[in-house]
Amino acid sequence: MGDIRSFDAADGATGITPSLTKDSASNSDRILRVLHSLTLEDKCLLLSGKNMWETHDIPRLGIQSLKTSDGPAGVRGATWTDGTHTTFIPCGIALAATFDPALVQRVGKVLGSEARSKGAHVLLAPTMNISRSPFGGRNFENFGEDPFLTGTHATAYIAGVQDDGNGVGACMKHFVANDMETRRFNMDETISERTLREIYLKPFHMVAVQSETPPWTAMTSYPKINGKHADTSRELVHDILREEWGFDGLVMSDWGGLNSTVDSIHATTDLEMPGPPLRYGTVLAQAVRRGEVSESKLIDPAVIRLLRLLDRCSLLPGDDKPGDSVSLSSCSSSTEKSEAETDTPEFRQTARETAANSVVLLKNENNILPLKPEKLQTLAIIGPNAKHPTLGGTGSAVVNPYYTTNPFDSLSETAKIGNPKIEITYEPGILTSLQPPLMGHCLTRPDSGDPGFQVDFYAGHAFSGPVVATTYWHDSLVYCMSDGDVPTELVGQPYSYRATGRLRPSVTGAYNISLSSTGKAKLFINDTLAIDNTDWTTISGNFMNCGSEERLAIVELTAGKTYSVRVDNVAVPPPTPPHDNTLFHRISGVRVGLLYRYDEAAMFAAAVNTARTADAVVLVVGHNNDTEREGSDRTSLSLPGRTDALIAAICSVNSNVVVVTQSACAISMPWVQDPQAIVQAWYQGQECGNAVADVLFGAVNPSGKLPLTFPKRIEDHGSHKWFPGNAVTDKAEYGEGVLVGYRWFDARGIEPLWPFGYGLSYSSFSVSGIAVDGTVTHETSAVVKATVTNTSAVVGSEVVQVYLSPSPAIAAAGLDAAPKALAGFTKVRLSAGESKRVEITLQEDAFAWWDTRRNGWRVDKGIYKAFLGTSSRHIVEEVDVHVA
């Protein structure tokens, strides 16, 4: 946490005017000349987005647009759906499970390179919020429940993105406490100052102050914190982030999350995204003229911060004389430039290595893993996620990957290499999606054989007159959100659109067909009305909390026969204002799903029968993009549908079952005693199938560790009583305080199902020779040392973890304190029989706690306990650490 002596809020103030001394003199002069050439309207326009991803340009002055791009699991580019292909990396929680900052930094470098190839200057990542509850719908983006683990991996991620060769900046988000999806735009979260400082702000402080490569930008969060939206909170943005921490980078709103003209600029939130602006731009200039906002004290410092960022991205004019005008004939908008695709062997290898190293081996009875194909005559691969895995999260994490792999294909290929005669069978067993899947596999455009919908746009709501424009979508999802999705001449005007395609099913029988929309939509099959969704009133999580619930109909279809499909949608806002966000209620979309009405009892029985005769079973189950997603929180620890029953039934007929679970959260396992092996596989991006196969067949020795605590029941979890809050009153209390995750379990003496930091290996290790060198002072550190030995015949990696006891003064003050908290870790790779000495450094900030009576950090001298082990519950030894 830096120099504790300067942490009092009254010390170390930097002021709101960003220093120009960090730039070279010529750069500083150029920025000031540009600033002085700007009119008030220019300045306020620069502080607002031009479109979905870009800032405004000013051609007469040679100022070009800065392009941003999502996101945390891959660089999407300028198109939200069906955009440029990109590398699909494992989700944030999987990256955290590697406990390997060096590997995460390599991933960041891939993302920085991909951003550069797509013409983006700022990658809107990483997500640094805390997985406070197992139910958090956006947990897949986070780095887990511990602030130190989160800050460490975020630091590495940012260093990779901002590698010198990339020329791309990162954006730390969401500042701060964006930890739930329920009413996320309106929820008012009550968080104590100590909890905010020690848990939720700590990762941001680590990357903004302690890191050698602080992020170029920051993004504010959606909810209210202690009564104020984050972007309007002067205490959070100005007082803490800027003055106390000295962060002089650009601060932008989350998309549609700028909540006030005056309050936001007073908080020093610099940039409203996306555009066109609603609260900055012309409205901000009017506030200046009314005397509500100071141009010199608020507008100019914000513009300087933006100009410095533009200068860093070479988007400002050259060293011209003041007042000179620069032609922009060669400075086109970056969204007009082509977005390159860079699918390299190096990027593929990094994605595969990361995915495999994120896998956590939870159980391995009788060393059933790794599987040996040569010893198997039959292998059953079962489960809904085997052929259709969850590769990543939704919302900001959606990308269009170069390719994907699935467990069934990868396991089958690997098994047959080891044993060409092996017999492999497959059964899904159950259905777990809440909505019928998209029908792109059997849907083509009316004018070609290409998959997807043709969408024709009309002025007005009557679907009459000439077609204004036509767009094409690769599947049965139309999502008009990014620039160009809606014809320019219809933006801001009444419009409607008609999606048409040809449906050709491969199986005869009854189907569930579904429709969800943002406007008033009707679905027709062969020009006969199948679903009327024009009178919906209940808002669901679809289309970023602005769409209707799915409406279903049953249709009889014949294999090989072609049917016309048509959706007419009147583009109007949701029936009631859903929330404070200014963007998402303006998007428009329709979703059509199709699912054959399987005999689910027969599916279940077929899976059990297949398992009964197999030498071994790999059962791949988990959550999907319906049951865990941005926009809504989960309400149960259970895996979806009849998953638990399927696992129990399969294990009852076969004694060699390996269960592979996919989730970004803790899940319940009432069947935990039944299978021989349990593998937690997260969401692993494009290399999902290959990573699972690499681990199960032993090409990779698992080394992942849990960045989350798995409770036996939700009532055991510290967040249970308070999460997610009251969706009627929009009030939430962070009642567990600083006892987040494993801290609660330790403080309350509750045994978890699987503890934080836990993970097995095909190797075995011993940790010995533990000692501490040095004393902690303002100027010196203590070093915990240990010898790690691979006591097996298999090369592998172990993660050594150090946890620290709290100051006795905390308990003396009647405050909660966790018995121990993560303060350091290191991952060491060892050959068979090899030993290595490892060192973990403990600095002063590791012992700091926030004293509300002093309104500052304090470190109490004395003797602390350092707990060294391989998880939060597997402690090898306790040693004393002296703090002077």
Q: What stretches of 8-146 show up as alpha helix (H) in DSSP?
A: 25-37, 40-46, 92-97, 101-117
CB-CB contact of 154 with 206 (8 Å):
yes
pLDDT, position 337: 54
Low pLDDT (below 70) residues in the chain: 1-26, 319-337, 577
Q: Which of 163, 231, 254, 300 is catalytic?
A: 254
pLDDT, position 26: 64
> Which residues make Cβ contacts (< 8 Å) with residue 663, sequence separation at least 6?
622, 623, 628, 639, 680, 682
Q: 869 is in which domain, residue-wise?
A: 765-883
pLDDT digit string, tens, across residues 515-571: 999 999 999 999 999 999 999 999 888 888 889 999 999 999 999 999 999 999 999
From 596, 628, 652, give the residue that closes a domain.
596
Q: CA 671 to CA 668: how far, in whole Å?
A: 9
In a domain, residue 643? The reply is no
In a domain, residue 6? The reply is no
Nearest one of 824, 72, 846 to 399, comparing CA atoms: 72
From 266, 295, 322, give the residue that closes a domain.
322
From 322, 340, 358, give the residue that closes a domain.
322
In a domain, residue 580? The reply is yes
Q: CA 788 to CA 767: how far, in whole Å?
A: 5
Burial degree of 742 (CB within 10 A; 0-12, 13-18, 19+) = buried
Q: CA 558 to CA 526: how far, in whole Å?
A: 13
pTM of the complete model: 0.94
In a domain, residue 512? The reply is yes
Burial degree of 595 (CB within 10 A; 0-12, 13-18, 19+) = middle
Helix (H) or strand (E) holding 595: strand 588-596
Q: CA 470 to CA 466: how far, in whole Å?
A: 11
> Widest CA span of the chain, in angstroms?
82
Q: CA 114 to CA 283: how far, in whole Å?
A: 36
Q: Where residue 240 sits, what CATH number does that domain have?
A: 3.20.20.300
Q: CA 620 to CA 429: how far, in whole Å?
A: 10
Annotation says 254 is catalytic: yes
pLDDT digit string, tens, across residues 415-425: 999 999 999 99
Q: Where residue 547 sits, what CATH number does that domain have?
A: 2.60.120.260
pLDDT, position 570: 97
Q: How many domains does the chain have?
A: 3
In a domain, residue 134? The reply is yes
In a domain, residue 635? The reply is no
Burial degree of 729 (CB within 10 A; 0-12, 13-18, 19+) = exposed
Q: Where residue 780 sits, what CATH number does that domain have?
A: 2.60.40.10
Nearest one of 35, 43, 581 to 282, comparing CA atoms: 43
Q: CA 85 to CA 114: how far, in whole Å?
A: 10
pLDDT, position 276: 93
In a domain, residue 336? The reply is no
pLDDT, position 24: 58
Do 452 and 304 sit in the same domain of this protein? no
Determine how many CB atoms are found less than 10 A away from the CB of residue 831: 13
pLDDT, position 464: 95
In a domain, residue 338? The reply is no
Q: Is the dihedral of CA 479, 485, 487, 491 positive or negative?
A: positive
pLDDT, position 3: 37
